[in-house]
Amino acid sequence: MTPLLLVFGYPAPVAIGTDLLYAAFTKAGGAFAQHRRGNVQWRIVALLALGSVPTSIFLHALILDISAQDSAEFEELLTTSLGVMLIITATILVFKEKLRFNAVNDRPERLMELLHKYRSLVTFLMGVILGVCVTLSSVGAGAFCAAILLIIYSKTPTVQIIATDIAHAVPLTFIAGLGYLFAGYVDLTLLASLLLGSLPAIHLGSKVSSAVPDKQLQQLLIAVLLGLGIYYSIG
Q: pLDDT digit of tens for each residue in the chain (235 aa)?
A: 888 888 888 988 899 999 999 999 988 988 988 899 899 999 999 999 999 999 999 988 877 665 555 567 777 777 888 888 888 878 877 776 676 666 566 555 666 666 677 888 999 999 999 999 888 888 877 777 888 888 888 788 888 888 899 999 999 999 999 999 988 889 999 999 999 988 777 667 766 666 667 677 777 777 887 887 787 777 6
Q: Is 207 exposed, middle or buried (0-12, 13-18, 19+ CB in 10 A)?
A: exposed
Q: Is residue 202 part of a domain?
A: no
Question: CB count, 10 Å around CB of 138?
Answer: 31
Q: Is residue 70 part of a domain?
A: yes
- Residue span of the structural domain in which 144 resides: 11-195+207-234
Q: Is residue 33 part of a domain?
A: yes
Give the count of domains, the chain: 1
Q: Is residue 94 part of a domain?
A: yes
- Cα–Cα distance, 179 to 20 (Å, whole number): 10
- Cα–Cα distance, 105 to 101 (Å, whole number): 6
232's CB contacts (< 8 A; 6+ apart) are: 3, 6, 79, 80, 82, 83, 86
Q: What is the pTM of this model?
A: 0.81
CA-to-CA separations, 94 to 13, 142, 188, 219, in angstroms, rounded:
29, 15, 35, 8
Angle at 12 between CA 50 and CA 65, to 5 degrees: 55
Q: Is residue 39 part of a domain?
A: yes
SS3 category, 227: helix
Residues in the chain: 235
230's CB contacts (< 8 A; 6+ apart) are: 83, 87
Q: Is residue 88 part of a domain?
A: yes
Q: Is residue 224 part of a domain?
A: yes
Q: Is residue 65 part of a domain?
A: yes
- Cα–Cα distance, 143 to 96 (Å, whole number): 9
- Residue 79 CA from chain centroid, whole number: 15
